[in-house]
Structure formats: structure tokens, C-alpha cells
Structure 1
Amino acid sequence: MENKMMGWSLRLLGLGMMMMFLVANSASPSPSPSPSPSPSANDITCKEAVTKLLPCTGYLSGSDPPTPSVSCCLACQEVFQAANTTAVRRDLCVCLKQAAIEYKVVPDRARKLPQLCNLQGLDIPIDPSVDCSTIKPY
């Protein structure tokens, strides 16, 4: 019973931290990346991506079982498929890099996520040490 309560507490803490990140990022202006084409209405934003990836918080922070949930994998697939231009992929990389730092993502778990979720070709890392300018063109 105590372990179950602690698990829920950790999930709520992770959710609260993710929401604080979203509020902080929506309130502060983002630095302008190098000129890129205007975003289209279909481009995924940082806030949308982080919100959709909330089911992955437990796995990525190391507080849940060693495999991501089905809802986490489905969210990853949806987010990464929405990043359908090189500019959006690189912007999403910067967003996820910052989120990884803020929420203390376990890098080894983040690296395993594409394989565990069977996300071939969807290679936008959730890693605080990645160089987002190296993201391959779409």
C-alpha cells in the first residue's frame, strides 16, 4: 500500500513539474532560432509536444518500470510524426533537450525509447547533451 502511494506521489510530482515547465515556457519569449520558413498551422509546438509526452514522464525519469507504457509509445509516435520538416524537427529537438534537463530525464532510458516503442526512423533525441543542429533533414 505504501509503495502504491509513493508511486502515485511520484507521478503527480512529475506531472506537476511538467506543467510548471509548460507554463514557464509559454510565459517567456523563446529565443528566435536562425531564420526558417514560417511555421504552418499543422506544425507541432513545444508545448503541444511536451503535453502529449506526459505519459512518458515516469519511464523517462526512472520512477516507473523499465519499459515505457503503450500510451507513452503512441504519444511518441504521434509527436515525432508531426515533426515533418527539418526546421520543426530541430525546434522539437531543442524543446525536448530543455525538457530533459528540467525533468532530469535518465539519458539511457531516453536513448532506449525509440527501440522499445518500435519507432524506426523517428530519431529526435530526448537527451540533454544532443547537438540539435545535427538532426537529419526530413
Structure 2
Amino acid sequence: RDDMICRAIADEDERIRRAGLLAAQTQGCPDTAVPVLAQSLVSEASNGIAELMVKVLAPVHSPLVLRAFASMVVSPKRRWFRKVPASVSPAMLAALTVLATSWREEPEGAAALAIVKRSEDTAVQRILSRGGAPA
């Protein structure tokens, strides 16, 4: 089972990847798939499949996952030498929800949430207020 899920997740065909992700979501993400998914999530954050990747990785407590989620909510661009929130997308909001509910106590999670807190987007602010992000 794990091997089949891993092969499907790594496939180039998005339909097969989606099927593998759905299997991982319902049956649990194999440990061997976590690094592949975390890296793919960062490189494909704007892809429609990224939101599903977030859902698959949400229950996984791993530094790789934390870094991937943090990179989805904080833009690599800077404004006046300050890090800024990433552009809002369904995948970004999904990652933010997981960070705010599961990773807010971790230093890297708290730092990402502090940056995102500067966003004026109402969906972002709603997630932060529900998730109990640090002040």
C-alpha cells in the first residue's frame, strides 16, 4: 500500500498524483512520502493539487512539513527588507489553517504566523483569530 501511494504521488500525471493523494488522505500518508510531498508542496504551491497536499500533510508532525507550510504562507519577496505574507490562495489558506491550529507553539510556526498577521486579507484574519495565533 505505502509503495503504491508513494509511486502515485511521484507520478507526472496529475490524475494519478491526485488519486495517490486521495489514498494518502484516507489511509494515512506513508512516512516515505512525506519528504517528497513537502518538497512538491513548496514547488507547486500555486498548482491546484497543492491544497490536497496540505490536507494530506496536515496530520504529519515533522519539521519538513512545518517548513513547507511556513514557506507557503510567507512570501520569498521582501518589502522594505521585511518578510511579507504570501499571496492568498486556497492552498495558502489551508497551510495557514494548519499552522495556526497545530504549529503555533513551534518557533518557526510562530514566526510565520507573526508575519502573516500583517496581512489585511479578511480570510487570513479569520483563520488567525480562530486558530489562536500569537499576538
TM-score tier after normalising by the smaller chain length: 0.3 to 0.5
TM-score, L = length of structure 1: 0.35
- Name the structure, 1 or 2, with higher relative contact order (CA <8 Å, separation 6+): 1
Name whichever structure is richer in helix by fraction: 2
